[in-house]
Amino acid sequence: MGNNSLIGFIHNPLVPKAASLVKSLIQELGIADRSWVSQPMKMQVDDETLDSTSLIVTAGGDGTIIRVVDKVAPHGVPILGINMGRVGFMSELSIERAAERLPWYIDGNARVEERLMLEANAKLGTSSDTHVVAHGLNEIIVRGALPHLLDIDVTIDGARLGTYRADGVIVSTPTGSTGYALSAGGPVLQPEAKVMLIQPLAAHISMQTAVVVPDDSTIELEVVNDDEAVISVDNLTNATLRRGDKVMLKRSPYVGRFLRSNPPSTFYSDLTSRLGIQQRTTHHGHDD
């Protein structure tokens, strides 16, 4: 990365010591003259600054990254996460190693991992002007505004899959497969896989199977009963849906870009520990 390019630091104000960590990193690395600092919820960084930024470092958890990625993805800026949360599936560095390792990433040595994002286009009501367009890294969820069952028709590339009678339907990226979709019983997908996951949420006397489709598919969800529903994109963009409203989902033109020091296969060896599953130790050969 060029010496004239900017480095952005984004810290979650709800995470203790995140702001002080960012301040100390900038001072220790001597990059105050080529860095900017912001918070994810109040990210007021103009397009010109983002276009001149070669790297964004986040201090927080996966939620901090989720709040940042849709703003920076259109500018192609990679993200390097310092994990100050719990699971940290998308984070790369620990707090303890951040100062030591950051120069290696700043110097352009890391692998760039590209992750699929989703675009949601929701047509609300009869007016063609009333719609919501949003981009998400994790998932798009259509669920009841109140806890009740919905009937949601699912169409893939113009072919009707069927009706899910469920609390909702999740359409997830591989990144989101380790989030809400996993707790709903869905499979874990490798984060760089080029697929999308359709996962019912607590399905009731209907098709309960998740479906994995190619990333060039177009998925349409339609609420077909009278109960009010909501669409949620990464739990950030929300809008009300009513009977007949349709949500069109497809691959976003943007991707989430992350810096990695290890090969893609590291995801598998880290998976169980990140999920908090204790692995059984395997002994090879005979003990002395």
> In the chain, which residues fall in CATH 3.40.50.10330?
6-109
Closest CA to 82 of 72, 94, 97: 94
pTM for the complete prediction? 0.88
Q: Which residue has the higher pLDDT, 3 or 215?
A: 215
Asked if 137 and 69 touch (Cβ cutoff 8 Å), the reply is yes
pLDDT per residue as tens digits for the range 194-230: 999 999 998 887 677 899 999 999 999 999 988 889 9
What is the structure's pLDDT at 235?
A: 87
% pLDDT > 90, the chain? 68
Mean pLDDT for 158-166 is: 93
6-109: CATH, from 2.40.50.140, 3.40.50.920, 3.40.50.10330, 3.40.30.10: 3.40.50.10330
pLDDT per residue as tens digits for the range 169-178: 999 999 999 9
DSSP conformation letters of 192-255: T-SEEEEEEES--SS----EEEETT--EEEEE-SSS-EEEEETTTEEEEE-TT-EEEEEEEEEE
pLDDT per residue as tens digits for the range 248-287: 999 999 999 999 999 999 998 888 777 766 555 544 444 4
Residue from 46, 47, 51, 62 carrying the catalytic annotation: 62
For the question of residue 62 being annotated catalytic, the response is: yes
> In the chain, which residues fall in CATH 2.60.200.30?
117-253
- The torsion angle over the Cα atoms of residues 51, 53, 55 and 57, rounded to 10 degrees, is -110
pLDDT tier, 288 (very low <50, low <70, confident <90, very high otherwise): very low
Question: For 166, what's the count of Cα atoms within 13 Å in the CB-facing half-sphere?
Answer: 25
Each as own residue / partner, the long-range contacts of residues 224-227 (CB below 8 Å, 24 or more positions apart, any chain) are 224/151, 224/152, 224/153, 224/163, 225/150, 225/151, 227/144, 227/145, 227/146, 227/148, 227/149, 227/150
Q: Exposed, middle or buried, 280 (CB in 10 Å: 0-12/13-18/19+)?
A: exposed
Residue 74 phi/psi, 5-degree rounding, is: -60, -15
Q: At what angle do helices 18-29 and 98-106 cross, to 10 degrees?
A: 60
Kindly report the CATH number that applies to the domain delimited by 117-253.
2.60.200.30
State yes or no: pLDDT of 135 exceeds 90: yes
Burial of 98-114, coded b for 16+ CB within 10 Å and e otherwise, reads beebbeebbeeebeebe
Closest CA to 89 of 182, 11, 195: 182
pLDDT per residue as tens digits for the range 52-102: 999 999 999 999 999 999 999 999 999 999 999 776 788 999 999 999 999
pLDDT tier, 126 (very low <50, low <70, confident <90, very high otherwise): low
Q: CB neighbours (10 Å) of residue 28?
A: 12
What is the structure's pLDDT at 24?
A: 96
pLDDT tier, 8 (very low <50, low <70, confident <90, very high otherwise): very high
